[in-house]
Structure 1
Amino acid sequence: RKPRGSNSDFARQDAPISEGYIVSMVTQCPSCGTRFRVTLEQLEARQGQVRCGLCQTVFDGREPLVAEPEPAPPTASAHEAPAFRLEPVDAGAVAPEPEPAVEAGPKERDYGPPPEQLSFDDQIFLEEERARGRSARWWAVGAALVFFVLGGHAAYVYRSELATQFPGLKPHLLRLCKPLRCTVMPPQRPTLLAIEASDLQFADSKQPSRIQLTATLRNHAGHDVGYPALDLVLTNKMEHTLARRIFLPAEYLESGRDPASGIPANAEITVQLDLDAGTLDPAGFRLNLLAAP
């Protein structure tokens, strides 16, 4: 095979092409082996020079020319190039330089249609909505204040019960009572107390009017209970009432005991009362426990 691009490649350019050639022909690239379908008219118009559409090699398309009896529709194969060109070129021509890439300009952002201007009715509606929102906030503030006041009042009224049920709240309740000058005492639960023993005797035989009441009280609750009030009734031999009096804790507790401390859980206390019956001459008594005010 002769070197590609030499003068001998073009020596045959002026040789006449016989009219006996079949119209449809196939030529093959000597460099990559790709086959092309050409016609004699195309070869004569370009003096036989063909450029491979795959590897860009320029060669004489008449040298490897093969005839085909009938032109058939082209079918893609592994060695057929998708396209080719027939043009006069120089032997030392090189592949064309790639075209410069076209830089894409910045895309315009679509912000959509401009917002519509609110009508007068819409503005009135928005103002009403804002007014309702402000009113709702004031209602919420007022409800919170009412809840706070009612909660404080309930804590003040039921401070003893709260301190008993929730001992951890007692220090806070004491601080609350300090400016209010109140106390946190154990709750009054007389039904949780029992009179274990009681007795009425003459304190001095020389003074028949002097009598002494002794009673033992027991707390059966699991928490402290406030000292009760003692309801004492003196009776005669017929158990008719001669006299009645209610004694508060400060009146029957011994000196030094705080009435606000209460009776401890599951504990007992002994109460003694010295009384002057005068001319009543009691023969019996009844003792009941009441809630102290």
Structure 2
Amino acid sequence: MDITHCPECSTAFKVSPEQLALASGWVRCGRCGAVFEAQHHFSAPMPSQPPPAPAPEPEPEPEPLQDGWDHEASWITSLDEPKPAGQAAIAQTSPPPQPTRSQITWLIACGVMLLLFAWQVIVSQRHLLAAEEPSLKPWLEVLCAPLACEVEWPQEPHSIQIENTSFNEDPEGGYALQIRLRNTQHHPVATPYLELSLIDLQDQVVVRRVFSVQEMGLPESLAALRDARATIHFDLDAKVSDHVSGFHALIFYP
């Protein structure tokens, strides 16, 4: 039987070859709990001593070398420590915690709120989405049904420019206004209305008139990056036409 010493607290232990074989030479100190390899801390063998000379009086009982000679080594059982060959460690895993009812309710509420937020964003942008992807229009109409809203062409007056206009007397009688509009966006937009103001020499409005999309003969939408031309014929009273010297054209959405 060999003697090994704990490297932490220097406690000595008796270990047998059978005990060392159980954990491949690894032991745990029974005093401080330190784990160490017993073979690296064996005590040096004691040299043989000659028998003591007889004495008239009996010698007292010898003291133990160190406190701990009577302690048995405690062997490693943790899964993280070395194991004897041929023995597999069985991991003890605890089941994952199950969500509580309040957590499930909170998750469901968050999901519903996210869906409502996404629905509001889609409905608010329905005109633009339908213009950029016409195939989405049936689905957008379904989403609009609870609010009784409609999916129409987006109204973007800043995206439409008046390229040129002309106002002249029509040879067949009355007056003719020619106008060319251009859509500068990469998606279709709603065709705007036209407000025509006829002015006199003092730049005062003599007469003002609004022309709808149908009166201008234009489609309900202007194609992306395309022009649209319209010619409008109308009559003026002779008393009014005598004062007309110019005009202003303005596009808008009613």
TM-score normalised by length of structure 2: 0.49
- Bigger radius of gyration among the two: 1
